[in-house]
Amino acid sequence: MKQNYKFNYLSLIGKWQSLAVFLMLISLNVFAQNIKTLTGKVIDETNQPVPGATIRIKGSQGGTSTDSDGVYRIQVKSGDVLVYSLLGSVTKEVIIGSQTSINITLMPDNQTLKDVVVIGYGTANKKDLTGAVTSIKSEEFNQGVMVNPAQLLQGKVAGLNVTKSGDPNARPSTILRGPSTLREGAAQEPFYVIDGVPGASIDLLAPSDIENIDILKDASSTAIYGSRAANGVIIVTTKRSKNGQARLSYSGYAAVEKVSKKYDMLSAPELRQYLADNKQTLNPIDDDGSDTNWQSLLEKTGYSQNHNLSYGGSGQSSDYGASVNYLDNKGILKNTSLKRTVVRAYLNEKFFNDRLKLGLTITNSNSKSSDIYQSQALPNMLFYLPTVSPFNADGSYKENYNRTGSGTRNPLSIVDNNNIDNLNNKTLINGMAQLNIIDGLKFTASVSSQRDQNNYSTYLNSQSGLARGVNGQAQKIDVLNKSQVLEGYFNYDKTFGKHSLKLLGGYSWQEDRTNDGFGVTTQNFSNDNLGYNNLFLSNPSLLSQIAFNNAPISTLRLISYYGRVQYNYNEKYLFQASLRDDGSSAFGRNNRWGLFPAVSAGWRIIGEDFMQAVPAISDLKLRAGYGVSGNSLGFDAFSSLLIYGTLSGSNKFLNNGNISNAIGPVRNENPNLKWESTATTNIGLDFGLFSDRITGSVDFYVKETSDLIYDRYEVSTTQFFLPTITANVGKIKNTGVEFSLNAVAVKTDNFKWTTSPNLATNKNKIVTLSDDFYKIAAIQTAQLGGKGQSGNFSQLIQPGYALGTFNLWNYAGKNAAGVSTYINAAGQTIATQPLTTDAKIAGDAQPKLIYGWSNSFNYKNWDLNFLVRGVLGNKILNATAAALNSPADAKLQNIPRFTLGESFNDINAYLISDRFLESGSYLRLDNATVGYTIRPKNPSIKAIRLYVTANNLFVITNYSGIDPEINIGGLTPGIDNNNFYPKTRTFSFGVSASF
């Protein structure tokens, strides 16, 4: 019985197993019949293949990617959903039916790319910003001959004023939201961050290597950078390879530059006639019958070329790239030029399932600039008499050193016999490690080293009129500046329900070592063949003829701790707060640390239910913020210390039989010295209309800087070694409104017009210069000199007035004899030179309105772009015109054509007064570009674009000088005083190709 049961049980099991195997075989057969191989090709909007695009089965780990021809192959079954994706493109999903081949076109996700903004130590979506931030992408940059990346932003950013002369070796002056310091140079300019490296030199980059620039304007955005962010922060992001793509690109142009405007000076026959009409004659030595146009001899047509070659690639775990840029800019003044080569390379690699990312970037900029003594050459180019030839019969330069007045040096001799060369080599090495610790928590560490090597050399040869009788004078200055930065910070991003939280915490250490080198000047060479090389061949007869450069070496350290929290509720209510604690060795031992807090909030009104009743409004956000940032830029390590050195004008003395330098205190100690602090309140509104066809923003700000640092507060020598001290006392205030708009005015299948105007108002005012201890009523500035005016000042810094306020004599017209008259302090009209106490406040150099208007037109393969920009409401002191306007000195110097309307008896015509204070308002067609893009069917060539660009096509202004775009930086803005390098008009032809 048991045996039968066992037999029957086993038989039953066998039958069930057979049935299961049978059913499994049927199932596998059906499943196999359902699986199929799907092929296809992925292309972009230009019908070019897209390598590296990801194709995956939704809800599973299965997937593949396209090859170099954009082709893919994947195993699927009916009902699967394929997801096609590529970084920077709109993701597509396709449901699989009976297809065996599917071709896909991926379109660029321009909106997503456009909305990503780089902020301090991270990125953010534009809709989540609570501060005032402007982002400019590479396709929006200015076109033409750009020698500095700051020029890319001219006229593009509301509140940012960038001015640049035609000098290829001069840096632009960059002021954001008005001046807020009494110091010059770096202390007035925004703080630069390049690819996360704070304080990196903007001169390291070629404009072609920049992907986008983000400008942080208010303290709620900039305070994360603490004591260096008072003037705003400009964050530069360089170009990187996109995921899954290999690229090779070239861009280049050739350009021709000409002087856009010259001074209208008299020719030799006209000058002789003017003198004859006034019964005057030239000294025979000053009239050899020539008619020399000195401007034409010194000015020339400038030719420039720029070439940029870059390549890169990106795969699943790495991306890499390299570029080389070469710029050769011949200036429009003889013997001025700039040559620069920039080499850049980067490599990023991912490890451990993309949890660890390591990166290395190396950038090197090597430039050689040639210059002239502009402060001598430019005024002499105008003043020097046209009635003499440049050369004597023996070929030597014609000079008359006994002539008095202005213009006493042959300008061609100044240019040819005095050389200035500068070799500059900058290297930035940046290493980065990024670790994804857990979901949402990321740690980033970076270390960077920047070297800035300067080799400055001059030689004034034996024929030089600037170094007469010394048989050649040479100077060599070789200085190395180094900066090292170490940073480590955590980012934590978490979304739970309607809540989104972002946390940042970090530490920063920086050391700057400057002036590591030497400088020496010597003279008396046997010949001029070697120039400034081999200084040991000089033969100075006295020890005092050897001068050493007075630039002490110093080491400055900065240590910082910082944190930030960002909170978002339901995509409607935004909050951000940050705090940075900075310590700097530059300041007094009692004030080396300072806190820089910021808080801001935003309300995305568009997310509220009641906004559904207003369909025309597609975006609306209200922002408000307050923060404090500092200004420690431009300081050395000895700013607060008692310093001993060689006093100005001191002589050497005999010390125990040895010749020694006289040494004494040169700077008083101030243990309470600290950084300037800028508190900014900003209220802004972002809006979008008609599905964001029109977008824009409006910002109102109040920016007040306290603890202004000034170097010459008077103190008692019974308490201090020297009569002046560097101290924090004053306050300065800027108030303004900014407006920017971007609108797609017309859009059809073949035509698109985008217009982007921006404007900004700013009112600058000195609030105070004194406190209970340091007392000062005003600071006189702008000592311009001129005949009989060497002790005069033309500007003052005074509470209640703007920085750059003019203080000038009050011109009252001509009297019956044709002599210029003035109103003195007593209100009387006088025909003699006024006293310094007769000067009156007469306006300021600060513009009331800055504006720019960009337009872009696209028709099929054609594109047209142009930019109009300008300023309103500022004043320019045309001290050049004043100095030239000296009719009684026409025997000694040339005069401009407008002086023909002056009386020869006007002995006061040249005096600097408000007669020469002119409106600086202008409207300039800054650049215009016409381009045509060729998209060959050859899959190896993505696109080739040919274009023609014109810069500075015209300017509308009432200013009578060369150009109204006068330097607005420093403590003496808005002054044209014989040293303005001529503005140029440029035409360039370029090509860009991507493969």
What's the pLDDT tens digit per position in 104-151? 888 766 554 457 888 889 888 888 899 999 999 988 898 888 888 889
Residue 917 clears pLDDT 80, i.e. is over it: yes
Residue 2 clears pLDDT 50, i.e. is over it: no
Cα atoms found within 13 Å of the Cα of residue 306, Cβ hemisphere only? 23
The Cα-based distances of 13 to 7, 22, 366 in angstroms read 10, 14, 85
Tokens 């006007």 belong to which residue?
Answer: 906
CA 74 to mean position of chain CA atoms: 49
Task: State the pLDDT at residue 1.
Answer: 40
Q: Each residue of 768-826: pLDDT tens digit?
A: 999 888 889 999 999 998 888 988 999 999 999 999 999 999 999 999 999 999 999 99
Confidence of residue 26 (pLDDT cuts 50, 70, 90): very low
Residue 611 clears pLDDT 80, i.e. is over it: yes
Cα atoms found within 13 Å of the Cα of residue 423, Cβ hemisphere only? 8
Which helix (H) or strand (E) segment holds residue 114: the answer is helix 110-115
Task: State the pLDDT at residue 938.
Answer: 78
What is the rounded CA–CA span in Å between residue 384 and residue 395?
A: 19
Which helix (H) or strand (E) segment holds residue 294: the answer is helix 294-298
Confidence of residue 17 (pLDDT cuts 50, 70, 90): low
Output the six-digit token pair for 314: 């990106």
Rg of the Cα atoms in the chain? 34
- The share of the chain scoring above pLDDT 90, in percent, equals 66
Which residue type sits at 706? S
Q: Each residue of 935-976: pLDDT tens digit?
A: 887 777 888 999 999 999 999 999 999 999 998 888 999 999
Residue pair 318/346 in contact by the 8 Å Cβ criterion: no
Residue pair 40/75 in contact by the 8 Å Cβ criterion: no
Which helix (H) or strand (E) segment holds residue 413: the answer is helix 411-416
Mean pLDDT of all residues in the chain?
A: 89
Identify the CA nearest to 517 among candidates 550, 495, 484, 485: 550
Task: State the pLDDT at residue 9.
Answer: 39
| Mean pLDDT on 244-269 | 91
Tokens 């049961």 belong to which residue?
Answer: 5
Task: State the pLDDT at residue 10.
Answer: 39
Give me the sheet containing 810-814, strands edge to edge.
810-814, 820-823, 829-830
Which residue type sits at 208? S
Task: State the pLDDT at residue 37.
Answer: 86
Which residue type sits at 420? I
Output the six-digit token pair for 721: 């070694």
What is the rounded CA–CA span in Å between residue 373 and residue 378?
A: 8
Identify the CA nearest to 922 among candidates 958, 949, 947: 958
Confidence of residue 33 (pLDDT cuts 50, 70, 90): very low
Identify the CA nearest to 475 among candidates 554, 545, 381: 545
Q: Each residue of 306-315: pLDDT tens digit?
A: 999 999 988 7
What is the rounded CA–CA span in Å between residue 853 and residue 926?
A: 10
Q: Each residue of 477-520: pLDDT tens digit?
A: 999 999 999 999 999 999 888 899 999 999 999 999 999 998 99
What is the rounded CA–CA span in Å between residue 356 and residue 352?
A: 6
Residue 46 clears pLDDT 80, i.e. is over it: no
Give me the sheet containing 840-844, strands edge to edge.
779-781, 795-797, 805-808, 840-844
Higher pLDDT, 401 or 112: 401
Output the six-digit token pair for 119: 């902020």
Task: State the pLDDT at residue 87.
Answer: 61
- The share of the chain scoring above pLDDT 70, in percent, equals 94
Higher pLDDT, 664 or 727: 727
| Mean pLDDT on 605-633 | 93
What is the rounded CA–CA span in Å between residue 882 and residue 150?
A: 32
What is the rounded CA–CA span in Å between residue 933 and residue 924?
A: 28
Tokens 């590296």 belong to which residue?
Answer: 52
